């Protein structure tokens, strides 16, 4: 056999053997295991359950381990809780990730915004929300600032983000009511990260 043909066939077999098969679905009331997809490259299988003010949405598909985070964002007027689990064997995302959410106050307080003029309302943080956040999202010429409580895992993800600086800015801080003043910013498509991850795995 020609050496070039052998190398091509070898590479094709090697690549195919490393491609994970994962369940792929999405739904508000849950999703099944009838659809299977092949993940590209080094992607992992992912299963996500996201709750927005109590409304749960489930999704399964391909993802990257860096996006497999669990935590919550509490902006006072709305709260999003995300539980994500990644795995690296075929069809391993057949189960939902464990529910790590908690609605119990943890003793920490942060400021939140209830309208365009007041961002100094006190919010009781829940569960593992052990950081305060301040974020300014700019779309075109309009900028909107939000504040609230956030989990450390999400702040850690923000510090690794490569989002454009002029699109959105996020800062996390420790200590009660520490988000009353401007602090050092980190870049992240923060308000959109659950939707971004949902699109990524589909």
Structure tokens at 148: 């609230």
Where do the domains of the chain lie, and which CATH numbers do they carry? 3-100 (2.10.60.10), 105-191 (2.10.60.10)
Residue 40's pLDDT band (cuts 50, 70, 90): confident
Residue with tokens 């600032």: 145
How many alpha carbons fall within 13 Å on the CB side of residue 189? 11
The predicted pLDDT at position 181 comes to 62
> pLDDT digits over 108-138, tens only?
999 999 865 688 899 999 999 999 999 887 7
Please report, in angstroms and rounded to a whole number, the separation of the first and last CA atoms in the chain. 40
- Whole-angstrom distance, CA of residue 133 vs CA of residue 122: 13
What is this structure's pTM? 0.74
Residue 74 burial (10 A CB sphere; 0-12, 13-18, 19+): buried
> pLDDT digits over 13-36, tens only?
344 446 889 999 988 866 777 799
1-5, 48-52, 109-113, 124-128: which range is least confident on average?
1-5
């Amino acid at each position: 056999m020609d050496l070039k043909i052998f190398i091509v066939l070898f590479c094709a077999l090697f690549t195919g053997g490393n491609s994970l098969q994962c369940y792929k679905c999405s739904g508000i009331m849950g999703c099944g295991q009838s659809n299977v997809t092949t993940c590209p490259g080094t992607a992992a299988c992912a299963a996500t359950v996201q709750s927005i003010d109590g409304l749960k949405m489930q999704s399964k598909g391909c993802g990257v381990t860096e996006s497999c985070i669990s935590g919550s964002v509490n902006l006072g007027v709305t709260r999003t809780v995300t539980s994500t689990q990644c795995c690296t064997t075929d069809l391993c995302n057949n189960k939902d990730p464990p529910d790590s959410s908690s609605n119990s106050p943890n003793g920490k307080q942060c400021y939140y915004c209830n309208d365009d003029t007041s961002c100094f309302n006190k919010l009781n943080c829940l569960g593992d929300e052990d950081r305060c956040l301040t974020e300014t999202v700019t779309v075109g010429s309009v900028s909107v600032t939000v504040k609230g409580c956030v989990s450390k895992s999400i702040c850690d993800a923000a510090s690794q983000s490569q989002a454009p600086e002029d699109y959105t800015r996020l800062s996390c801080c420790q200590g009660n009511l520490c988000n009353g003043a401007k602090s050092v910013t980190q870049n992240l498509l923060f308000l959109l990260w659950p939707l971004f991850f949902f699109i990524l795995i589909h």
